[in-house]
C-alpha cells in the first residue's frame, strides 16, 4: 500500500465529533457505528422511498437570489415563535425511540437543543419519559401526540405535558396506519428491538452499540409505562398496536384536544391546502407541512413542492413550518423564502446523536447555525426574518 494513501484512509475512518462538518458526515459516521437494522430504520422510508427522494429533490429545485454590496455585518438568525425568541430557526422534529441511536437518547438531545437555542419537539414514543426529558434541560420543549383511541391515555399525556412545562402540543395526523418500511421488514427490525437470526451477525459486529443497549435503559415507549399490563418493552409494544391506534379519528377530535390543551397547538403531517384549512378551522395555531420524512407513504410529492400552495391557503391564520429533507442551513433559509416560519428536521439530529451523543447533536445544530448565518451573508440579508419570496428565482 502507498504511504500517501494512509492520511486519506485515516480521514475516512475518523469518527469523532471533529469529523462532522455536514449532516452527511454524521450520517456516514452513524452508519459505521450502528447495526444495519438500526441505521436503516432511521434512514429508510416507506414503500419505494420516492417521497424521501422527493423531499430532497424539491428543495434542490429552489434557487435563491444573492445580492451583493449590502451591509451584512449585523446578522441575526433568530425568530419569534409563538411570542418567544428562538436563536436557531430549526426545530428538532419528534422522532421516537432515540435510545436506539444512543443510550442517552432524548436526554442528550434536549441538553444539546437547550445549549444551541433550538426548540426540541419530544415524541410520544420517546425512550425516556416526557418528565425525565423536561427535567434535564432548559430547552424550549414541544410535545408530540398521536390521536389515539384511548381517551385516558391521550388525556393523561396532554395533562402530563402541561404540568411538565411543555410549551406547545403537536398532533401528528398522518399515521392512521403505520407505513410499510421495506428495509425494516427485510432486516427483521421491530420495536421493541429484538435480536433475531436475520440481524444477529451484523448486530454483534457493533459491540459498542450492543454494550450501550445492554447497559442503557430498556428500549421502549417510556411514556406508556403504567398503561400496559407490564412495563417491559414487549408488553408496551403489543399494547400500543392493540389498544391505541384508532382509524375512526376525525378533525372533530382535534377540537376536543384544543379544549384541553392550554397553549399553542400544532398539526403535523399536512400535505394539502384543504387539510391545512381543516387544521386551522379546528383550532390549530400552527401547521407543520410534512410527509413524515417519507416514512409513511411513498406516493406524495416533496414538501417544497406543496409548501407555497399551503401558505397561500392559510395566510396569516397560523404559523407554518417546513418539515422534510432539511440537510443544510441553506435549506432552512429556502424554507423561509417559500413562506415558512421556520424549518424542522428529524434525521439530522438523529444521525448526530448516533454519531456522537449529546456533542454530536450539538455539532449538527452548530453546523446548521453557521450555515444559516453564512447563507444570509451571501444573500445580502442581515435578518432571517426578512427572507421571503423576493429571494426566490422564479
Ligand atoms: C427515526 C425516526 C422516528 C420518527 N418518529 C416520529 C414520531 O414518533 N412522531 C412523529 O410525528 N414523527 C416521527 N418521525 C418523523 C419526523 O418527525 C419528521 O417528520 C421527519 O424526520 C422529517 O424528515 P427528515 O428526517 O428528512 O428531517 C420520525 C422520523 C425518524 C427519522
Mutation choice for ligand 1 from 46, 292, 349, CB with most ligand atoms inside 8 A: 292
pLDDT tens profile 59-99: 999 999 999 999 999 999 999 999 999 999 999 999 999 99
pLDDT of residue 217: 86
Percent of the chain at pLDDT > 70 equals 93
- The set of catalytic residues is 292
Cell of 387: 427572507
Is the distance from the beta carbon of residue 375 to the nearest atom of ligand 1 less than 6 Å?
no
Atom of ligand 1 nearest to the CA of 121: 17
**How many distinct structural domains can be found in the chain?**
1
Is the distance from the beta carbon of residue 329 to the nearest atom of ligand 1 less than 6 Å?
no
Atom of ligand 1 nearest to the CA of 345: 27
Query: Would you say residue 206 lies in a domain?
Result: yes
pLDDT of residue 122: 98
Query: Would you say residue 7 lies in a domain?
Result: no
Q: How far is CA 180 from CA 44, 295, 350, in A?
A: 10, 8, 21
pLDDT of residue 193: 76
Distance between Cα 73 and ligand 1 center (Å): 36
Residues of the domain holding 142: 23-391
Mean pLDDT by 10 residues, the chain (394 residues): 56 76 98 96 97 98 98 98 97 96 97 98 96 97 92 95 98 93 90 77 89 86 82 68 82 94 98 98 98 98 98 98 98 98 98 98 98 98 98 95
pLDDT tens profile 102-145: 999 999 999 999 999 999 999 999 999 999 999 999 999 999 99
Query: Would you say residue 8 lies in a domain?
Result: no
Query: Would you say residue 344 lies in a domain?
Result: yes
Distance between Cα 214 and ligand 1 center (Å): 25
pLDDT tens profile 287-303: 999 999 999 999 999 99
Q: Who contacts 57 (Cβ-Cβ below 8 Å, separation ≥6)? A: 302
Distance between Cα 61 and ligand 1 center (Å): 23
From atom 8 of ligand 1, which residue's Cα is the shortest distance away?
A: 96
Instruction: Provide the greatest CA pair distance for the chain.
Output: 69
Query: Would you say residue 351 lies in a domain?
Result: yes
Query: Would you say residue 4 lies in a domain?
Result: no
Query: Would you say residue 195 lies in a domain?
Result: yes
From atom 10 of ligand 1, which residue's Cα is the shortest distance away?
A: 94
Residue 140: CATH number of its domain: 3.20.20.70
- In contact, 15 and 29? CB cutoff 8 Å: yes
Amino acid at each position: 500500500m502507498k504511504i500517501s494513501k494512509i492520511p486519506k484512509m485515516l480521514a475516512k475512518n475518523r469518527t469523532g465529533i471533529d469529523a462532522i462538518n455536514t449532516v452527511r458526515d454524521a450520517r456516514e459516521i452513524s452508519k459505521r457505528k450502528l447495526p444495519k437494522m438500526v441505521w436503516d430504520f432511521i434512514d429508510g422510508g416507506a414503500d419505494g422511498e420516492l417521497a424521501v427522494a422527493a423531499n430532497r429533490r424539491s428543495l434542490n429545485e429552489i434557487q435563491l437570489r444573492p445580492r451583493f454590496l449590502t451591509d451584512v455585518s449585523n446578522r441575526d438568525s433568530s425568530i419569534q415563535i409563538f411570542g418567544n425568541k428562538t436563536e436557531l430557526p430549526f426545530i428538532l422534529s419528534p422522532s421516537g425511540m432515540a435510545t436506539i441511536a444512543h443510550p442517552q437518547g432524548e436526554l442528550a438531545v434536549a441538553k444539546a437543543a437547550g445549549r444551541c437555542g433550538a426548540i426540541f419537539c419530544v415524541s410520544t414514543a420517546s425512550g425516556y419519559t416526557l418528565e425525565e426529558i423536561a427535567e434535564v434541560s432548559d430547552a424550549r420543549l414541544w410535545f408530540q401526540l398521536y390521536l389515539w383511541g384511548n381517551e385516558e391515555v391521550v388525556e393523561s399525556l396532554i395533562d402530563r405535558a402541561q404540568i411538565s412545562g411543555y410549551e406547545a402540543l403537536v398532533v401528528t395526523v398522518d399515521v392512521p396506519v403505520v407505513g410499510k418500511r421495506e428495509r425494516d421488514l427485510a432486516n427483521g427490525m421491530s420495536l421493541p428491538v429484538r435480536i433475531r437470526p436475520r440481524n444477529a451477525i451484523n448486530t454483534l459486529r457493533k459491540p459498542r452499540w450492543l454494550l450501550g443497549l445492554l447497559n442503557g435503559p430498556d428500549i421502549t415507549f417510556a411514556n406508556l409505562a403504567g398503561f400496559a399490563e407490564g412495563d417491559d418493552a414487549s408488553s408496551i409494544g403489543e399494547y400500543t398496536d392493540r389498544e391505541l391506534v384508532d382509524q375512526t379519528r376525525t378533525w372533530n377530535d382535534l377540537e376536543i384536544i384544543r379544549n384541553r390543551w392550554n397553549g399553542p397547538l400544532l398539526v403535523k403531517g399536512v400535505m394539502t391546502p384543504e387539510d391545512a384549512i381543516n387544521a386551522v378551522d379546528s383550532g390549530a395555531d400552527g401547521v407543520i407541512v410534512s410527509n413524515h420524512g417519507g416514512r409513511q407513504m411513498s406516493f406524495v410529492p416533496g414538501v417544497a413542492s406543496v409548501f407555497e400552495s399551503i401558505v397561500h391557503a392559510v395566510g396569516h391564520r397560523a404559523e407554518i413550518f417546513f418539515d422534510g429533507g432539511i440537510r443544510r442551513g441553506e435549506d432552512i433559509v429556502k424554507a423561509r423564502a417559500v413562506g415558512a416560519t421556520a424549518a424542522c428536521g428529524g434525521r439530522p439530529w438523529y444521525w448526530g446523536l448516533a454519531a456522537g451523543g449529546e456533542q454530536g447533536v450539538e455539532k449538527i445544530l452548530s453546523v446548521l447555525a453557521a450555515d444559516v448565518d453564512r447563507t444570509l451573508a451571501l444573500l445580502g440579508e442581515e435578518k432571517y426574518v426578512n427572507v421571503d419570496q423576493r429571494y426566490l428565482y422564479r
